């Protein structure tokens, strides 16, 4: 115990301060900390509430009385944003890309992490460190050639149009590849902690390596899979740079595959010209609420997933 305290470099040793008057002082501290926490909470919540409130106003109300409640809630702002603002399309695009991206990331990432964590073979370290090195390099380093590579893949006969620029699968594969370093790194450490005896027992019972992985190891790694799954959902949902570069429409006939992030920012520009502020706020509310609802429902897992995901 004492050893732990002295391990802290500047910990004081054996110099007790004078006994202090507890109640009064702590009351003040309590008041003080409540004050600061409330202030910061207000700074977070008020702009969000204000935006949601503005999404229910008319444009005139937004400009003339930005602070007051809407006289009557204008729900057609949402219809306008969803249809003529194309938020509906962007939303569906995002869900498609996210569903594909996160599913493949989890499957492929856990396979790689498992093999790298539990089997020794020549080249194991090289592959593992190649994945981990990807963690420190900024995406901007890859950006320009990546654009060219995806463009070139698009010229491959037959499958080209599905994985080239401005295609769902093309973007999904890029998401998967860029999510791999962290997923592999995180799950690698997780698979390593699982007990060896169970794996050995399974092999003795005649289970194949594949069965062992899917029936024994994956279920045991569930907490880790949930954490990194949430981490990937939020990471890929919020991705902005990759879709901006890779979903550029190739011609005016090309369909618009934009995801919410870039769609919303484009909307911010066009609605700015049209002064359709209420439509913009409605679009923003649509983009914001699903994640906030998921977060509030699963806040414990989301917080645990994101924080464990960052510092493991």
Partner 1 sequence: MKFRRLPFIAGFLFVPVVLYVIYVVSPFVQTVFYSFTDWGGFSNTQNFIGVGNYVRLLQDDIFLKAVLHNAFLLVLMPVVTILLALFLAFMLNVGGRGDSAGIRGVRGSSVYKVVLFFPQVLSVAIIVVLFQSVFRTDGRGLLNGLLIALGLVDPNKPVQWFNSPDLVLWCLLGVMVWSGVGFYMVLFSAAMQSIPKEIYEAALLDGASRGPTFFRITLPLLWENISVAWVYLGFIALDGFALVTGLTPDSGGGGPDHASELISNVLYRTAFTQGKFGLACAMGVALAVFSLLLAIVQLRITRRDRIEF
Q: Is 307 in the site for partner 1 (CB under 8 A)?
A: yes
Q: Which of residues 137-166 bind partner 1 (CB under 8 A)?
A: 137-138, 140-149, 153
Compute the half-sphere exposure of residue 57: CA atoms within 13 Å on the CB side of its CA: 21
Q: Is 299 in the site for partner 1 (CB under 8 A)?
A: yes
Q: Which is nearer to partner 1, 253 or 300 (CB)?
A: 300
Q: Which of residues 235-294 bind partner 1 (CB under 8 A)?
A: 237-238, 240-241, 245, 260-262, 264-265, 268, 277, 280-281, 284, 287-288, 291-292, 294
197 conformational bin, left if phi > 0, alpha if psi -120 to 50, beta if neither: alpha
Q: Which is nearer to partner 1, 25 or 83 (CB)?
A: 25
Instruction: Answer whether 78's CB lies under 8 Å from 55's CB.
Output: yes
Q: How many residues bind partner 1 (CB under 8 A)?
A: 111
Instruction: Answer whether 67's CB lies under 8 Å from 266's CB.
Output: no
Q: Quote the least distance from Cβ 83 to partner 1, whole Å.
A: 19
| CA–CA–CA angle 74, 77, 81 (5° rounding) | 170
Q: Which is nearer to partner 1, 157 or 206 (CB)?
A: 206
User: What is the Rg, in whole angstroms, of the alpha carbon atoms belonging to the chain?
Assistant: 26
In angstroms, rounded to a whole number, what is the distance separating the alpha carbons of residues 263 and 269?
10
Q: Which of residues 27-86 bind partner 1 (CB under 8 A)?
A: 27, 29-30, 32-34, 36-37, 40-41, 43-48, 50-51, 54, 62-63, 66-67
Q: Is 100 in the site for partner 1 (CB under 8 A)?
A: no
Work out the angle between the directed axes of helices 87-118 and 76-83 (0-180°, nearest 10). 70
Q: Is 109 in the site for partner 1 (CB under 8 A)?
A: yes
């Amino acid at each position: 115990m004492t050893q732990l305290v002295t391990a802290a470099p500047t910990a004081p040793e054996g110099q007790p301060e004078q006994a202090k008057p507890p109640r009064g002082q702590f009351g003040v501290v309590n008041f003080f900390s409540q004050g600061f926490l409330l202030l910061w909470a207000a700074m977070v919540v008020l702009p969000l509430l204000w935006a949601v409130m503005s999404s229910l106003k008319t444009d005139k109300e937004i400009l003339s009385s930005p602070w007051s409640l809407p006289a009557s809630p204008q729900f057609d702002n949402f219809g306008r944003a969803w249809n003529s603002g194309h938020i509906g399309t962007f939303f569906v695009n995002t869900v498609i890309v996210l569903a594909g991206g996160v599913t493949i990331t989890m499957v492929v990432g856990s396979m790689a992490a498992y093999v790298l964590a539990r089997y020794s073979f020549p080249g194991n370290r090289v592959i593992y460190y190649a994945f981990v090195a990807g963690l420190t390099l900024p995406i901007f380093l890859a950006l320009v050639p990546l654009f060219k590579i995806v463009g070139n893949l698009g010229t491959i006969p037959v499958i080209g149009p599905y994985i080239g620029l401005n295609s769902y699968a093309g973007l999904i594969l890029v998401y998967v590849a860029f999510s791999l370093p962290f997923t592999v790194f995180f799950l690698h450490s997780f698979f390593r902690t699982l007990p060896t005896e169970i794996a050995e027992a399974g092999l003795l019972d005649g289970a194949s390596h594949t069965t062992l992985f899917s029936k024994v190891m994956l279920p045991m790694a569930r907490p880790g899979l949930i954490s990194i799954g949430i981490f990937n959902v939020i990471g890929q949902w919020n991705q902005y740079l990759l879709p901006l570069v890779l979903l550029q429409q190739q011609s005016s006939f090309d369909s618009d595959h934009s995801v919410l992030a870039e769609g919303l920012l484009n909307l911010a520009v066009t609605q700015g010209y049209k002064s359709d502020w209420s439509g913009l706020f409605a679009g923003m509310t649509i983009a914001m609420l699903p994640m906030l609802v998921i977060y509030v429902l699963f806040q414990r897992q989301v917080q645990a997933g994101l924080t464990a995901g960052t510092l493991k």
